Amino acid sequence: MKKFSKKELLSIPNIMGYFRILLIPVFCVIYIGADSAEDYYLAAAIVLISTITDFLDGKVARKFHMITEFGKFLDPVADKLTHAAIAVCLMFRYSGMRWLVGLMIVKEGFMAVMGAINLRHGKKLDGARWFGKVCTGTLFAVLLILVLLPEISLKTANILIGAETVIMAVTLALYVPVFYRMRKEWND
């Protein structure tokens, strides 16, 4: 396993990634314990701070030539952990969220296993595909709406959750042939 230098581990973009991970338990405590609109707005503000930090870490890394292999690993891990934590917290409020969380586990599990298998054969997925980015963007939007609008009707919440579940299922289906083609390249 590659050792990372202190400079790489403590670069500004990576510190932003650590910060995002540290915001996760803060969000969870505030959201689960929320008993007023202000609490929900505070939880939503934490999500927005995390999102802004996510946006800025990439900008800083590119502008100041601080892109690191560790940062390429840390950033998506922070994204996945943040989205998972928000979705799990939302399960306490919206039972339909269980289906989306289950599909998130299947999709991310598939991506991790296939990524690891391909990496062992010298192949690497070079960034998310457009449909993966759409899925991540819509997932974030749905999660933020559900956190920010605690008085949203159950019907509307279920429509949003259902639509995102469909988007995620389609995304998973679109990644299957991508990994299949990568697998075929091993034998070529």
**144 and 116 housed in the same domain:** yes
Per-residue pLDDT of 130-152, as tens digits, reads: 999 999 999 999 999 999 999 99
**85 and 106 housed in the same domain:** no
Task: Give the per-residue pLDDT at 174.
Answer: 96
Mean pLDDT of 71-80: 91
**108 and 160 housed in the same domain:** yes
Question: Last residue of some domain: 92, 117, 140?
Answer: 92
Q: How far is CA 171 from CA 127, 137, 146, 178, 179, in A?
A: 14, 12, 22, 11, 13
Among residues 160, 154, 143, the alpha carbon closest in space to that of 31 is found at 143
Task: Give the per-residue pLDDT at 2.
Answer: 67
pTM for this model (two decimals): 0.90
For residue 66, give its domain range.
1-92
Mean pLDDT of 73-92: 95
**121 and 79 housed in the same domain:** no
pLDDT of 112 higher than 70:
yes
Per-residue pLDDT of 20-60, as tens digits, reads: 999 999 999 999 999 999 999 999 999 999 999 998 998 99
pLDDT band at 180 (very low <50, low <70, confident <90, very high): confident
pLDDT of 1 higher than 70:
no
**75 and 146 housed in the same domain:** no
Alpha helices in 64-153 (DSSP H): 69-91, 97-120, 130-148
Name residue, tokens 């509307």: 156
Task: Give the per-residue pLDDT at 188.
Answer: 61
